[in-house]
Amino acid sequence: MMQTLLLLAMILLALAISGCLYRVLKGPSIADRIAALDTIGVNVAAEVAVAGAYTRSTAYFELVLLIGILAFLGTVALARYMERGRVLDAPDDSTDG
Amino acid sequence: MLQTIQLTVEWLSVLLILLGALLSVFSAFGMIRLPDVYLRSHAATKSSTLGVLCVLTGVFLYFASVMQTASMNILLGIVFFFITAPVAGHLNGRAAYRTGVPLWTGSVRDELAEAVQEAGASEPQPPGPEDSSMVQPGKVSSEEHPIQPSRSEQAGLQESTVEDQHGRSDGEKG
């Protein structure tokens, strides 16, 4: 019974990822796609955590952290690139943050 | 007795996981249906963060009750998502505003543009893209006419609130 419910949760998360994928493909502006990609990363991390609970294996948990960190860094890098045209600031023009 | 507690915690964790998955689905629904980057980032940041926090808490409780292991990785993941998801949403929203992504035509107020106008020319506006098809949101709010609908798919959503917008914006200006 609990395995079935966990499977249902995984299916729901997959649905959420598909919905965000629609926004990535459709989104009129780049910011839409970045927000949708961030949501996809977060949802994939949750999906991996539920998969770890479903298979009762602790081997997936490092992956949760790793996907979370990668999604966050990717979002920050993309947003900064969209805003300023570069990702890393040169040391002399770090006035606005 | 111990068996009962364990079973209760197990059910609680599974229900938390289901609740989190449902919240993620609602978040994706908002991502699809909402008309604007800023409104969409509301859905993406708030409900998706809450959903993932629920899922990770449920997984933590599940492993604590089923396998008797407290996973520090999951705890660290909870703290990490709790901190970083709002930051990412804020960065994305600021980047969208500064690059001139248009507001939804049903938006009644642009407080950031008012604040920028009050600050005056002491801080120069960051240069937007030289793209005439994109409308700077800061300039639009001071004009009489709202932004022309750029996406025909939202016509149904917009028509219901355009008159409402005129009435309210006139009231606020007067």
Q: How far apart are CA B99 and CA B17, in angstroms?
A: 38
Residue B99 near residue B130 (C-beta atoms within 8 A): no
Q: Determine the average pLDDT of the residues in B125-149.
A: 45
**Using the beta-carbon criterion (under 8 Å), do B56 and A22 form an inter-chain contact?**
no
Tell me the mean pLDDT in the region B116-130. 61
Confidence of residue B102 (pLDDT cuts 50, 70, 90): confident
Interface of A with B in 73-92 (CB under 8 A): 75-76, 79-80, 82-83
Using an 8 Å CB-CB cutoff, list chain A residues near B151: 28
Alpha carbons B14 and A16: distance in angstroms, whole number: 18
Please name the member of B24, B31, B37 whose beta carbon is closest to the beta carbon of A31: B37
Note the pLDDT tens digit of each residue in A57-75.
888 888 999 999 999 999 9
Buried b (16+ CB within 10 A) or exposed e, B22-35: bbbbbbbebbeebb
Residues of chain B with C-beta less than 8 angstroms from the C-beta of A12: 18, 21-22, 24-25
Domain residues of chain B, as ranges? 2-100
pTM beyond 0.80: no
Chain B neighbors of A79, CB-CB under 8 A: 88, 91-92, 94-95
> Quick check: ipTM above 0.90?
no
Chain B, 83-142: which have a CB under 8 Å from a chain A CB?
84-85, 87-89, 91-96, 98-99, 101
